[in-house]
Chains A and B, each alone.
Chain A
Amino acid sequence: MLDNFIFIGLPYGALALFLFVLPYRYFSNRLTWTPFSSQFLERKTLYWGAMAWHFGIVTVLLAHLTGFLAPRLVEAIISNQAFFLALENISLGLGLLALFGSVVLLFRRATAERIKAVTRIADWLILLLLIAQAATGVYISVYVRWGYQWYHYTAVPYLYSLLTFHPQIEYVSDFPFFFKLHVAGAFLILGILPFTKLVHLLYLPVGFLKDPQILYRWNFDPKEKQG
């Protein structure tokens, strides 16, 4: 029952929220689309929190994504024993970095006077969720070791089965409790993402990387006017 909820109900619920709320928010009120930085008000603690958190979580997330999107590549990479060990340890380090960062951020929210002026309930919610997520992640990488090996034989096929609407939870239902917590946390975050400032992570600066520095916008097409 619980397995069905975590591995079927939650993911589809989260996906539905993500797919419907996100475009709605994008088209109806982009004025709230911002990471809502508070560096302007407090920066000393933020430095340790935000840097550790972001660099930790971005790389760890990318590793998860690579495993999901390019399982063959991962297989090839981890066939080298030394490399595999190094990757495991680096990932654990990055996970700890993210955990440290998120705890610092929570501490900052709770203590910095000015930050209270810009704190909303959602900020607490996502901070707590993210800390829990980082903590279960670190726990898994310590106690359910060699994630690089089992991840793409279990979780990845399960995720694909979700996408094809034939959820096969037997891939993952035998995992220990903390793993299930981690999965539940992930889908929970995905589900509330469209409602919070987390939307900022969906931003990829592709246009910025290829475009000229100075941008003109015309209210009309000057060439058209001429004709």
Chain B
Amino acid sequence: MDVRAQIVMVFNLDKCIGCHTCSISCKNIWTDRKGAEYAWWNNVETKPGIGFPKQWEDQGKYKGGFAVKNGELKLKLGGKFATLLSMFYQPNMPKLEDYYEPFDFDYSNLYNAAESDDQPVADAISQITGKRMDTISGGPNWDDDLSGSPVYAAEDLNLEDRKIIEEYGKIFMLYLPRICNHCLHAACMASCPSKAIYKRGEDGIVLIDQNVCKGWRFCTSACPYKKVYFNWHTGKSEKCIFCYPRVETGQCNACVQSCVGKIRYVGVLLYDASQVGNALIKPDADLVQAQRALILDPKDRAVQEGARANGVSDAWLKAAISSPVYTLVKEYGLALPLHPEFRTMPMTYYIPPLSPVLASKTGAYELAEHGHGTIPPIETLRVPIGYLSSLFSAGNQEIVSDVLKKLIALRQYMRQQNLGESPDEKVLRDVSLDPEAAARLHRLFAIGGFNERNVIPPQQREEHEPAGRKGGRGFGILVKPKGGI
């Protein structure tokens, strides 16, 4: 057992309202720079939809993630030799058009235009060429709310039946906020010839060392989530840094802090690093189970000892014990990894949505009946289970059904309680929950405050390197990271 700590984010999709506040706060802090205008370390996409960049889930096109060949994990991009051969030109690298040409508007024209009969307009100006753009043909959320669109939604790879979005009564929709998953077996890292990408031992945050990065760009295609962005101005790759300067001091990420729906949870997981490789060569249907299995119980003595032996501090152990993430991911198994079949073992998790809470008895969808609860049985839910399991469990419908059943049972139970009826514990027991679990989950989902949703232990780096911390200048890089001279 090789116990390591990882800081993890969970998204409760039922609560995401698709407001993009998270993306904006992230952009304002980190990517409001030349070369990174198009990069959205945090983005929110509408599902069904093609996402950002376009069709990022299509690994036939981008060759992201790993595949199992002869019992071994291999980058879909190819081996080391293939990597060296495609150094000069990479066929699978996403191009600007797969994202969009970043633009600004010429607002000054609104003030300065010569007087005329027409209203002046603010033309779109390309942030790359500085020239006027006649048409804007893409953006970071170009298919926002178009879940019924035959152009966008119908192209979603997770749809088994594309017809479903054409029938007005059957259209469904959910929002999917995405950041870098800070994977345990990151493809971006494995593909980097310069070894510039690394995982921090202390908290598992995956970073690109800008001093070491030589701009070979393999990571941009190897990351199956398309969460490495090539900065065209500096000639190097960049990605979400999990707001490490904030997290290190015990504050939570900007996207979490600003989240309007309060859908995000941040906490510590302990995992067994020695099992990662084994877990990833399992068949698709077993991947979620295998991933859950290597998450360790922080209350277990042996685990605690293993953690201490690996330098996990007491503050971190304490945080792991009260981690909301552990509760959601492992203890009650409600949160699932996004596309586990990409085999990078992502370390952000999603609680699949029930909403819209609509059901069908007759084929047409209507507001669910108020019967035993407001929630219909899961077979009649509007979001197809197949669709959710394609996103969150590599096609294993049982896993998603289990989660949805738990969510439904929880709501039924809490509804009874709130209405003053005597709550039926059997509803919970049927899905292997209990009143204690219900109370904890209810707090986390509905009323838990900021410090309950986010349990972030500070790093206390000064403890580890007191000499190095003393006399520090307190400021960082002073040279411009522009590419080329």
A interface residues (Cβ-Cβ under 8 A, vs B): 28-41, 43, 46-47, 50-51, 53-55, 113-114, 116-118, 120, 122-123, 195-197, 200, 203, 205, 207-209, 211, 213-223, 225-226
B484's partner among A39, A40, A196, A222 (CB-CB below 8 A) is: A196
A31 vs B483: C-alpha distance when bound (angstroms): 7
Q: Are A31 and B129 in contact (CB under 8 A)?
A: no
Complex contacts, B96 vs chain A, CB 8 Å: 40-41, 114
A9 vs B31: C-alpha distance when bound (angstroms): 47
Which residue of A is nearest B191, CB measured?
A213
Which residue of B is nearest A51, CB measured?
B89
A40's partner among B232, B482, B485 (CB-CB below 8 A) is: B232
A97 vs B212: C-alpha distance when bound (angstroms): 31
Q: Are B311 and A216 in contact (CB under 8 A)?
A: no
Complex contacts, A209 vs chain B, CB 8 Å: 80
Complex contacts, A196 vs chain B, CB 8 Å: 484-485
A38-B214 CB under 8 A given contacts A31-B481, A214-B189, A219-B202: no
Q: Are B485 and A216 in contact (CB under 8 A)?
A: no
A213 vs B131: C-alpha distance when bound (angstroms): 42
Shortest Cβ distance from residue B306 to the other chain A in the assembled complex, whole angstroms: 11
Q: Would you call B440 an interface residue if the criterion is a C-beta within 8 Å of the partner chain's C-beta atoms? A: no
Q: Are B201 and A114 in contact (CB under 8 A)?
A: no
Shortest Cβ distance from residue A11 to the other chain B in the assembled complex, whole angstroms: 23
Q: Are A120 and B485 in contact (CB under 8 A)?
A: yes
> Lowest 10 A-B CB distances belong to which pairs?
A222-B311, A218-B201, A220-B464, A34-B215, A36-B235, A213-B190, A31-B481, A34-B235, A36-B483, A54-B88
Complex contacts, B200 vs chain A, CB 8 Å: 216-219
Q: Would you call B453 an interface residue if the criterion is a C-beta within 8 Å of the partner chain's C-beta atoms? A: no
A219's partner among B199, B212, B232, B465 (CB-CB below 8 A) is: B465
A216's partner among B199, B308, B464 (CB-CB below 8 A) is: B199
A214-B193 CB under 8 A given contacts A32-B483, A200-B214: no
Within 8 A of A (CB), among B187-237: 189-190, 192-195, 197-202, 210-217, 230, 232-236
B198's partner among A34, A35, A216 (CB-CB below 8 A) is: A216
Q: Would you call B309 an interface residue if the criterion is a C-beta within 8 Å of the partner chain's C-beta atoms? A: yes
A214 vs B197: C-alpha distance when bound (angstroms): 9
Q: Are A218 and B95 in contact (CB under 8 A)?
A: no
Q: Are A219 and B464 in contact (CB under 8 A)?
A: yes
Task: Scan B75-86; emit 1 where CB is below 8 A from any A CB, else 0.
Answer: 100001001100
Complex contacts, A39 vs chain B, CB 8 Å: 89-90, 93, 95, 217
Complex contacts, A33 vs chain B, CB 8 Å: 211, 214
How many residue-residue contacts, CB under 8 A, span A and B?
162
A34-B213 CB under 8 A given contacts A40-B96, A46-B89, A217-B199: yes
B232's partner among A32, A38, A220, A226 (CB-CB below 8 A) is: A38
29 contacts between A and B (CB under 8 A): A28-B479, A32-B482, A32-B483, A33-B211, A34-B213, A34-B214, A36-B215, A36-B235, A40-B230, A41-B128, A54-B87, A118-B232, A118-B233, A118-B484, A203-B194, A207-B195, A208-B80, A213-B185, A213-B190, A214-B189, A215-B189, A215-B198, A218-B200, A218-B201, A219-B202, A220-B202, A222-B310, A222-B311, A226-B309
Q: Are B211 and A30 in contact (CB under 8 A)?
A: yes
Complex contacts, B372 vs chain A, CB 8 Å: none
The residue among A32, A120, A200 with the most chain B CB atoms within 10 A of its own CB is A32
Complex contacts, A53 vs chain B, CB 8 Å: 88
Shortest Cβ distance from residue A201 to the other chain B in the assembled complex, whole angstroms: 11
A29 vs B211: C-alpha distance when bound (angstroms): 8
A63 vs B84: C-alpha distance when bound (angstroms): 19
Which residue of A is nearest B309, CB measured?
A226
Q: Are A208 and B465 in contact (CB under 8 A)?
A: no
Apart from A40-B230, A117-B232, A209-B80, list 19 A-B contacts with CB within 8 A.
A30-B211, A32-B481, A36-B484, A37-B230, A41-B95, A117-B129, A117-B130, A118-B483, A196-B485, A200-B214, A208-B192, A213-B185, A213-B190, A215-B189, A217-B201, A220-B202, A221-B311, A222-B309, A226-B310
Q: Would you call B461 an interface residue if the criterion is a C-beta within 8 Å of the partner chain's C-beta atoms? A: yes
Which residue of A is nearest B479, CB measured?
A29
Complex contacts, B311 vs chain A, CB 8 Å: 218, 220-223, 225-226
Shortest Cβ distance from residue B117 to the other chain A in the assembled complex, whole angstroms: 33
A35 vs B211: C-alpha distance when bound (angstroms): 13
A188 vs B97: C-alpha distance when bound (angstroms): 38
Complex contacts, B480 vs chain A, CB 8 Å: 31
Complex contacts, B359 vs chain A, CB 8 Å: none
Complex contacts, B446 vs chain A, CB 8 Å: none
Q: Are A208 and B193 in contact (CB under 8 A)?
A: yes
Complex contacts, A29 vs chain B, CB 8 Å: 479
Which residue of B is nearest A26, CB measured?
B211
A211-B195 CB under 8 A given contacts A31-B480, A218-B202: yes
A145 vs B382: C-alpha distance when bound (angstroms): 77
Complex contacts, A123 vs chain B, CB 8 Å: 484
Complex contacts, A217 vs chain B, CB 8 Å: 198-201
Q: Would you call B477 an interface residue if the criterion is a C-beta within 8 Å of the partner chain's C-beta atoms? A: yes
The residue among A31, A34, A205, A221 with the most chain B CB atoms within 10 A of its own CB is A34
Q: Would you call B16 an interface residue if the criterion is a C-beta within 8 Å of the partner chain's C-beta atoms? A: no
The residue among B461, B464, B477 with the most chain A CB atoms within 10 A of its own CB is B464
A50 vs B480: C-alpha distance when bound (angstroms): 27
A40 vs B213: C-alpha distance when bound (angstroms): 16
Which residue of B is nearest A209, CB measured?
B80
Q: Are B485 and A195 in contact (CB under 8 A)?
A: yes
Which residue of B is nearest A121, CB measured?
B485
Q: Would you call B351 an interface residue if the criterion is a C-beta within 8 Å of the partner chain's C-beta atoms? A: no
A215's partner among B199, B211, B459, B482 (CB-CB below 8 A) is: B199
Complex contacts, B441 vs chain A, CB 8 Å: none
A214-B186 CB under 8 A given contacts A31-B210, A226-B311: yes
A41-B235 CB under 8 A given contacts A33-B214, A34-B213: no
